[in-house]
Structure 1
Amino acid sequence: MTIIRISSNQSRTIQTKLVLPPDTNHMGTIFGGVILSYIDEIAAISAMKHSRNVVVTASIDQVTFLSSAEVGDILTLEAVVTSTGRTSMEVFVKVESENLETSEKTTTTTSFLTMVAKNREGIPTPVPGVIPETDVEKELFRNAEERKKKRLGKR
């Protein structure tokens, strides 16, 4: 059996969103649930690009809200597949906000999700391995097994 591995660059996905009033709470900051929705969407896209299959979210393993974003801020979401199992992919997502008036950029949220590739019949299907490229991706790849053990230990 040949093991296929592909560059993490193939899965890298970047989206930009504008924080609008309907996305915010009474304090003018974005709802956490809106951010979670954005994170789930971009993680799925990243995993689909990597596996070339449809995917489902198996778990949102960790979400860390570091700061908030306000009405008028620009959000940049970046996702990349950091490691793979037989049919699953761990996806790292980083959300950054940018204040248009000051140009200040702040990391607002980081998250790890597990996505599972499925074939046309809805059966989990094998995915290629990943070759990390950047220093951050290499570090995430090195620590992936530890995160997987923690994730499986919670079940």
Structure 2
Amino acid sequence: MYKHSTESQVSITQLMLPAHSNFSGKIHGGHILNLMDQIAFACASKHSNHYCVTASVNRVDFLNPIEVGELVTLKASVNYTGRTSMVIGLRVESENIQTGIVKHCNSSYFTMVAKTDDGKKNATVPGLILDSEQSVRRFARSIARQEQAKKRSTKFKASEFKIEEHIEFIKTQNAKIDLSISK
């Protein structure tokens, strides 16, 4: 079975209240992450017709602050489907109600896994129908991100790590290497 990404796209808009703000008066990043996780869950569950759990989050960069009183819109779409997992692309925008100015606040990719009804096993998910150049690009980009993640995790695995490959670069950073104290 295959589905178009449009069948499971989800969008929510919420007014940002003072209760959502941090000590500097901006909307707390944790509140936005919570909303992102909720919409990723909704999108993945809608696509798979199963309860889904968050397996990983690929990079969240907060590009612009969100102010109290702004409307925040989160958009989610399935970018990639594996056998039991999906990569959900998310975009967060804020809108100043008085000026109408819209800011891109962040984008991220949540890997969600579908679960069987008892929650004990992973469930098979429908594949994705790629019907545009953009959908093919997003699917291919998700595969590339997965490959990069595998390389990162292998390269820095304790049993595979080669200190000599990194020591000179680390010396140029804001760190002091003193290996005599670690033994």
TM-score for the superposition, normalised by structure 2: 0.79
Which of the numbers 4, 8, 24 marks the counterpart of 1:27? 24
Query: In the aligned structure 2, how far is the partner of 1:24 from the partner of 1:151?
Result: 33
Match of residue 59, structure 1, among 56, 60, 78 = 56
Aligned partner of 1:149 in structure 2 is 147
Deviations 1:123-155 (A, max 9, x none): 101101112456543321221110111233444
Partner letter of residue 126 of structure 2? Answer: P
Confirm whether residue 116 of structure 1 aligns to residue 113 of structure 2: yes
Distance verdict in 2 for CA 1:80–1:99, change over 3 Å: same
Q: RMSD over aligned Cα, in angstroms?
A: 1.4
**2:2 maps to 1:5:** yes
Which position in structure 1 is the counterpart of 2:65? 68
Q: What is the CA deviation profile of residues 92-135 of structure 1, one whole-angstrom value per residue up to 9, with x for unaligned ones?
A: 00000000111000110111010000011221011011124565
Q: Does 1:140 align with 2:100?
A: no
Aligned to 2:162: none
- Kindly provide the CA deviation profile for residues 15-55 of structure 1, in whole angstroms up to 9, marking residues without a partner as x: 01111001011222111111100000000000000000000
Unaligned runs of 5+ in 2: 154-183
Q: Hey, what does 1:87 align to over in structure 2?
A: 84
Residue identity opposite 2:143 in structure 1: E
Point out which structure has higher relative CO (alpha carbons under 8 A, 6+ apart): 1
State the SS of the aligned residue for 2:54.
Answer: strand
Give the alignment's TM-score, normalised by structure 1.
Answer: 0.92
Three-state SS of the structure 1 residue aligned to 2:37 is helix
**Aligned residue pairs, count:** 152
The structure that is strand-richer by fraction is 1
Deviations 1:66-117 (A, max 9, x none): 1011000000000001001110000000000000111000110111010000
Q: How many percent of aligned residue pairs carry the same amino acid?
A: 39
CA 1:52–1:14: 2 relative to 1, 3 Å:
same
- Structure 1 or 2: larger helix share? 2
Distance 1:59 1:126 in 2: 18
